[in-house]
Structure 1
Amino acid sequence: MFIEMVVKGLTLDPLTNMPIVILKDVEEKRVLPIWIGLFEANAIALELEKITTPRPMTHDLMRDLIVGLDAQVTKIVVNDLKNSTFYAVIHLSMNGNQVVVDSRPSDAIALALRSNAPIYVSSEVVNKARSIDVSQENEEADQLKEWLENLKPEDFGKYQM
Protein backbone atom coordinates (compact mmCIF):
# COMPACT_ATOMS: atom_id res chain seq x y z
CA MET A 1 0.00 0.00 0.00
CA PHE A 2 1.21 3.51 -0.80
CA ILE A 3 0.49 6.73 1.05
CA GLU A 4 0.33 9.98 -0.91
CA MET A 5 2.43 12.68 0.70
CA VAL A 6 3.35 16.31 0.07
CA VAL A 7 6.43 18.29 0.98
CA LYS A 8 5.49 20.16 4.12
CA GLY A 9 8.79 21.99 4.37
CA LEU A 10 12.49 21.89 5.05
CA THR A 11 14.22 22.23 8.37
CA LEU A 12 17.58 21.54 9.95
CA ASP A 13 18.36 18.76 12.38
CA PRO A 14 19.25 20.66 15.57
CA LEU A 15 21.86 18.06 16.50
CA THR A 16 23.72 17.66 13.20
CA ASN A 17 22.66 20.76 11.21
CA MET A 18 21.80 18.42 8.33
CA PRO A 19 18.79 19.40 6.20
CA ILE A 20 15.59 17.41 6.58
CA VAL A 21 12.74 17.35 4.08
CA ILE A 22 9.44 16.84 5.88
CA LEU A 23 6.80 14.82 4.05
CA LYS A 24 3.25 14.80 5.38
CA ASP A 25 0.41 12.60 4.17
CA VAL A 26 -2.51 14.32 2.48
CA GLU A 27 -4.78 13.37 5.40
CA GLU A 28 -2.29 15.10 7.73
CA LYS A 29 -2.02 12.07 9.99
CA ARG A 30 1.59 11.03 9.38
CA VAL A 31 4.87 12.87 9.00
CA LEU A 32 8.04 11.43 7.52
CA PRO A 33 11.36 13.26 7.98
CA ILE A 34 14.09 12.36 5.49
CA TRP A 35 17.63 13.61 6.05
CA ILE A 36 19.10 14.93 2.80
CA GLY A 37 22.18 16.69 1.51
CA LEU A 38 22.61 20.44 1.40
CA PHE A 39 22.58 20.66 -2.41
CA GLU A 40 19.40 18.63 -2.66
CA ALA A 41 17.79 20.73 0.07
CA ASN A 42 18.69 23.83 -1.91
CA ALA A 43 17.14 22.34 -5.07
CA ILE A 44 13.92 21.56 -3.18
CA ALA A 45 13.87 24.99 -1.51
CA LEU A 46 14.31 26.78 -4.86
CA GLU A 47 11.26 24.98 -6.25
CA LEU A 48 9.15 25.41 -3.10
CA GLU A 49 9.87 29.14 -3.18
CA LYS A 50 9.41 29.28 -7.00
CA ILE A 51 12.81 30.92 -7.42
CA THR A 52 14.11 30.78 -10.97
CA THR A 53 17.79 30.64 -11.70
CA PRO A 54 19.47 32.20 -14.75
CA ARG A 55 20.57 28.77 -15.98
CA PRO A 56 18.92 25.36 -15.43
CA MET A 57 19.92 23.57 -12.27
CA THR A 58 20.40 19.79 -12.33
CA HIS A 59 16.77 18.93 -11.52
CA ASP A 60 15.52 21.50 -14.03
CA LEU A 61 17.74 19.83 -16.63
CA MET A 62 16.32 16.41 -15.71
CA ARG A 63 12.76 17.74 -16.11
CA ASP A 64 13.64 19.40 -19.42
CA LEU A 65 15.25 16.18 -20.74
CA ILE A 66 12.19 14.15 -19.79
CA VAL A 67 9.84 16.64 -21.46
CA GLY A 68 12.14 16.86 -24.50
CA LEU A 69 11.91 13.09 -24.88
CA ASP A 70 8.10 13.39 -24.87
CA ALA A 71 7.90 11.59 -21.54
CA GLN A 72 6.42 12.56 -18.20
CA VAL A 73 7.03 11.86 -14.55
CA THR A 74 3.86 10.10 -13.41
CA LYS A 75 4.86 9.71 -9.75
CA ILE A 76 7.74 9.11 -7.40
CA VAL A 77 7.73 6.48 -4.67
CA VAL A 78 9.89 6.28 -1.56
CA ASN A 79 9.89 2.52 -1.59
CA ASP A 80 12.49 1.20 0.84
CA LEU A 81 14.47 1.89 3.98
CA LYS A 82 17.64 -0.10 4.69
CA ASN A 83 20.27 0.68 7.31
CA SER A 84 18.78 4.15 7.90
CA THR A 85 18.97 4.95 4.16
CA PHE A 86 15.82 5.75 2.20
CA TYR A 87 15.37 4.56 -1.39
CA ALA A 88 13.06 5.87 -4.10
CA VAL A 89 12.04 5.31 -7.68
CA ILE A 90 10.82 7.68 -10.37
CA HIS A 91 7.98 6.41 -12.56
CA LEU A 92 8.05 7.73 -16.12
CA SER A 93 5.59 7.32 -18.96
CA MET A 94 7.11 7.37 -22.46
CA ASN A 95 5.45 6.33 -25.69
CA GLY A 96 2.89 4.28 -23.80
CA ASN A 97 5.61 2.46 -21.86
CA GLN A 98 6.24 2.70 -18.15
CA VAL A 99 9.84 3.15 -17.05
CA VAL A 100 10.97 2.97 -13.42
CA VAL A 101 14.28 4.60 -12.49
CA ASP A 102 16.17 4.15 -9.21
CA SER A 103 16.77 7.43 -7.38
CA ARG A 104 17.72 9.01 -4.11
CA PRO A 105 14.54 10.31 -2.43
CA SER A 106 15.84 13.89 -2.42
CA ASP A 107 16.41 13.87 -6.19
CA ALA A 108 13.06 12.19 -6.83
CA ILE A 109 11.27 14.76 -4.64
CA ALA A 110 13.03 17.69 -6.35
CA LEU A 111 12.00 16.28 -9.74
CA ALA A 112 8.42 15.55 -8.61
CA LEU A 113 8.02 19.15 -7.44
CA ARG A 114 9.24 20.47 -10.80
CA SER A 115 7.01 18.04 -12.71
CA ASN A 116 3.89 18.41 -10.56
CA ALA A 117 4.00 14.65 -10.00
CA PRO A 118 2.54 13.02 -6.89
CA ILE A 119 4.83 11.75 -4.14
CA TYR A 120 4.08 8.38 -2.54
CA VAL A 121 5.69 6.50 0.32
CA SER A 122 5.16 2.81 0.93
CA SER A 123 3.37 2.14 4.22
CA GLU A 124 6.15 -0.31 5.05
CA VAL A 125 8.69 2.52 4.87
CA VAL A 126 6.54 4.74 7.10
CA ASN A 127 6.30 1.92 9.65
CA LYS A 128 10.05 1.19 9.52
CA ALA A 129 10.88 4.89 9.81
CA ARG A 130 9.08 5.12 13.13
CA SER A 131 11.82 3.06 14.66
CA ILE A 132 14.94 4.43 13.00
CA ASP A 133 17.53 5.73 15.43
CA VAL A 134 14.91 7.03 17.85
CA SER A 135 14.43 3.52 19.22
CA GLN A 136 18.07 3.39 20.28
CA GLU A 137 18.74 3.96 23.96
CA ASN A 138 20.92 7.05 23.93
CA GLU A 139 20.62 10.71 24.79
CA GLU A 140 21.01 11.96 21.21
CA ALA A 141 18.21 9.68 19.96
CA ASP A 142 15.95 10.81 22.82
CA GLN A 143 16.61 14.48 21.99
CA LEU A 144 15.86 13.88 18.32
CA LYS A 145 12.68 11.95 19.09
CA GLU A 146 11.47 14.73 21.38
CA TRP A 147 12.30 17.40 18.78
CA LEU A 148 10.46 15.52 15.97
CA GLU A 149 7.41 14.91 18.16
CA ASN A 150 7.20 18.61 19.02
CA LEU A 151 7.59 20.06 15.52
CA LYS A 152 4.99 22.73 14.83
CA PRO A 153 3.92 24.10 11.41
CA GLU A 154 5.64 27.43 12.12
CA ASP A 155 8.96 25.58 12.48
CA PHE A 156 9.00 24.76 8.75
CA GLY A 157 10.93 27.24 6.72
CA LYS A 158 12.39 28.70 9.92
CA TYR A 159 15.93 27.72 8.98
CA GLN A 160 17.85 29.12 6.06
CA MET A 161 19.78 26.73 3.84
Structure 2
Amino acid sequence: MDVEVRVRGWMMDPNTNMPIVVLKDVTSDAVMPIWVGIYEVNAIAVEINKEVGPRPMTHDLARNLIQNLNAHLDRVVITELRDDTFYAVLWLTQNGEVVTVDARPSDAIALALRADCPIYVSEQVLAAARLTPPSSMEGPSNEDLRKWLEGLNDEDLGRYKM
Protein backbone atom coordinates (compact mmCIF):
# COMPACT_ATOMS: atom_id res chain seq x y z
CA MET A 1 0.00 0.00 0.00
CA ASP A 2 1.26 3.46 -0.83
CA VAL A 3 0.87 6.49 1.42
CA GLU A 4 0.27 9.92 -0.08
CA VAL A 5 2.74 12.56 1.04
CA ARG A 6 3.34 16.22 0.35
CA VAL A 7 6.53 18.19 0.36
CA ARG A 8 6.50 19.92 3.74
CA GLY A 9 9.61 21.89 2.84
CA TRP A 10 13.34 21.52 2.81
CA MET A 11 16.13 22.43 5.11
CA MET A 12 19.79 21.84 5.74
CA ASP A 13 20.73 18.93 8.00
CA PRO A 14 22.47 20.58 10.96
CA ASN A 15 24.84 17.60 11.34
CA THR A 16 25.86 16.85 7.75
CA ASN A 17 25.09 20.21 6.11
CA MET A 18 23.27 18.29 3.38
CA PRO A 19 19.81 19.30 2.13
CA ILE A 20 16.84 17.34 3.43
CA VAL A 21 13.51 17.26 1.62
CA VAL A 22 10.83 16.71 4.25
CA LEU A 23 7.81 14.72 3.11
CA LYS A 24 4.70 14.59 5.31
CA ASP A 25 1.97 11.95 5.31
CA VAL A 26 -1.26 13.74 4.36
CA THR A 27 -3.30 11.72 6.87
CA SER A 28 -1.01 11.87 9.92
CA ASP A 29 1.88 13.74 11.48
CA ALA A 30 4.43 11.25 10.15
CA VAL A 31 7.29 12.84 8.29
CA MET A 32 10.01 11.31 6.17
CA PRO A 33 13.34 12.96 5.39
CA ILE A 34 15.16 12.35 2.14
CA TRP A 35 18.74 13.57 2.00
CA VAL A 36 19.46 14.96 -1.48
CA GLY A 37 22.22 16.89 -3.19
CA ILE A 38 22.47 20.65 -3.59
CA TYR A 39 21.51 20.61 -7.28
CA GLU A 40 18.56 18.31 -6.62
CA VAL A 41 17.14 20.45 -3.83
CA ASN A 42 17.60 23.51 -6.02
CA ALA A 43 15.36 21.96 -8.70
CA ILE A 44 12.71 21.32 -6.04
CA ALA A 45 13.09 24.76 -4.43
CA VAL A 46 12.78 26.53 -7.78
CA GLU A 47 9.35 24.97 -8.26
CA ILE A 48 8.29 25.48 -4.64
CA ASN A 49 9.15 29.18 -4.98
CA LYS A 50 7.55 29.33 -8.47
CA GLU A 51 10.70 30.84 -9.94
CA VAL A 52 10.92 31.02 -13.71
CA GLY A 53 14.22 31.13 -15.53
CA PRO A 54 14.89 32.42 -19.02
CA ARG A 55 15.15 28.85 -20.36
CA PRO A 56 13.52 25.58 -19.25
CA MET A 57 15.33 23.63 -16.56
CA THR A 58 15.75 19.87 -16.97
CA HIS A 59 12.57 19.06 -15.03
CA ASP A 60 10.61 21.62 -17.03
CA LEU A 61 11.91 19.94 -20.18
CA ALA A 62 10.83 16.53 -18.88
CA ARG A 63 7.34 17.86 -18.07
CA ASN A 64 7.11 19.45 -21.53
CA LEU A 65 8.21 16.22 -23.21
CA ILE A 66 5.59 14.23 -21.33
CA GLN A 67 2.88 16.70 -22.32
CA ASN A 68 3.99 16.95 -25.96
CA LEU A 69 4.10 13.16 -26.28
CA ASN A 70 0.41 13.11 -25.28
CA ALA A 71 1.19 11.49 -21.96
CA HIS A 72 0.13 12.39 -18.43
CA LEU A 73 2.11 11.99 -15.22
CA ASP A 74 -0.41 10.33 -12.91
CA ARG A 75 1.71 9.89 -9.79
CA VAL A 76 5.19 9.28 -8.50
CA VAL A 77 5.95 6.60 -5.94
CA ILE A 78 9.03 6.28 -3.76
CA THR A 79 9.17 2.51 -3.84
CA GLU A 80 12.30 1.34 -2.14
CA LEU A 81 15.08 2.16 0.32
CA ARG A 82 18.12 0.00 -0.20
CA ASP A 83 21.64 0.67 1.16
CA ASP A 84 20.69 4.26 2.12
CA THR A 85 19.48 4.92 -1.44
CA PHE A 86 15.87 5.71 -2.28
CA TYR A 87 14.24 4.54 -5.52
CA ALA A 88 11.18 5.97 -7.23
CA VAL A 89 8.91 5.23 -10.17
CA LEU A 90 7.04 7.65 -12.42
CA TRP A 91 3.56 6.38 -13.37
CA LEU A 92 2.44 7.81 -16.70
CA THR A 93 -0.49 7.21 -19.00
CA GLN A 94 -0.01 7.51 -22.76
CA ASN A 95 -2.69 6.61 -25.27
CA GLY A 96 -4.57 4.66 -22.60
CA GLU A 97 -1.53 2.58 -21.62
CA VAL A 98 0.28 2.74 -18.29
CA VAL A 99 4.01 3.35 -18.55
CA THR A 100 6.40 3.23 -15.60
CA VAL A 101 9.82 4.87 -15.56
CA ASP A 102 12.57 4.44 -12.97
CA ALA A 103 13.65 7.75 -11.40
CA ARG A 104 15.64 9.22 -8.57
CA PRO A 105 13.24 10.43 -5.86
CA SER A 106 14.56 13.98 -6.06
CA ASP A 107 13.84 14.05 -9.81
CA ALA A 108 10.45 12.41 -9.28
CA ILE A 109 9.52 15.00 -6.63
CA ALA A 110 10.70 17.92 -8.79
CA LEU A 111 8.67 16.59 -11.73
CA ALA A 112 5.60 15.86 -9.59
CA LEU A 113 5.60 19.44 -8.31
CA ARG A 114 5.77 20.76 -11.88
CA ALA A 115 3.05 18.39 -13.12
CA ASP A 116 0.86 18.91 -10.04
CA CYS A 117 0.51 15.18 -9.47
CA PRO A 118 0.44 13.26 -6.19
CA ILE A 119 3.53 11.86 -4.51
CA TYR A 120 3.35 8.51 -2.72
CA VAL A 121 5.72 6.50 -0.55
CA SER A 122 5.39 2.77 -0.02
CA GLU A 123 4.41 1.91 3.56
CA GLN A 124 7.61 -0.11 4.01
CA VAL A 125 9.80 2.81 2.93
CA LEU A 126 7.87 5.26 5.10
CA ALA A 127 8.19 2.98 8.13
CA ALA A 128 11.93 2.52 7.60
CA ALA A 129 12.94 5.98 6.44
CA ARG A 130 11.07 8.14 8.86
CA LEU A 131 13.21 6.74 11.65
CA THR A 132 16.48 5.98 9.88
CA PRO A 133 18.97 8.64 8.82
CA PRO A 134 21.77 7.68 6.42
CA SER A 135 24.30 5.37 8.05
CA SER A 136 27.04 7.93 7.48
CA MET A 137 25.22 10.43 9.71
CA GLU A 138 26.55 10.76 13.22
CA GLY A 139 24.77 12.62 15.95
CA PRO A 140 21.26 12.34 17.35
CA SER A 141 19.49 9.05 17.85
CA ASN A 142 16.70 7.92 15.55
CA GLU A 143 14.15 8.90 18.19
CA ASP A 144 15.68 12.38 18.57
CA LEU A 145 15.65 12.84 14.79
CA ARG A 146 12.02 11.69 14.54
CA LYS A 147 10.93 14.10 17.28
CA TRP A 148 12.87 16.93 15.65
CA LEU A 149 11.33 16.33 12.20
CA GLU A 150 7.79 15.85 13.53
CA GLY A 151 8.10 19.00 15.64
CA LEU A 152 9.10 21.26 12.75
CA ASN A 153 7.05 24.39 12.42
CA ASP A 154 7.02 27.09 9.76
CA GLU A 155 9.67 29.13 11.55
CA ASP A 156 12.01 26.12 11.62
CA LEU A 157 11.68 25.71 7.87
CA GLY A 158 12.12 29.46 7.39
CA ARG A 159 12.10 30.52 3.76
CA TYR A 160 11.92 26.89 2.67
CA LYS A 161 8.39 26.16 3.90
CA MET A 162 5.53 25.26 1.57
Same fold (TM over 0.5): yes
Equivalent residue number for residue 155 of structure 1: 156
Structure 1: any 5+ residue segments left out of the alignment? none
1:1-161 matches, within 5 Å, as 1-133=1-133, 140-142=139-141, 145=145, 147-148=148-149, 150-158=151-159
Q: Residues of 1 paired with 2:140 and 2:114: CA distance?
A: 34
What's the offset of the Cα at 1:79? 0.6
What's the offset of the Cα at 1:132? 2.0
SS at match of 2:52: coil
What's the offset of the Cα at 1:128? 1.3
Amino acid at match of 1:148: L
Alignment CA distance shift 1:73-1:157 (3 Å): farther
4+ residue runs of structure 1 moved beyond 4 angstroms?
A: none
| Percent identity (aligned) | 52
Q: Residues of 1 paired with 2:24 and 2:57: CA distance?
A: 26
SS at match of 2:55: coil
What's the offset of the Cα at 1:131? 4.1
> Which deviations, in whole Å up to 9, do the C-alpha atoms of 1:30-77 show, x marking residues without a partner?
101100111110111010011111000000000001111010100000
Amino acid at match of 1:86: F
What's the offset of the Cα at 1:150? 4.2
> Which deviations, in whole Å up to 9, do the C-alpha atoms of 1:94-146 show, x marking residues without a partner?
01110110111000000000000100001110111144248x8x961439626
Structure 2: any 5+ residue segments left out of the alignment? none
Number of equivalences: 157
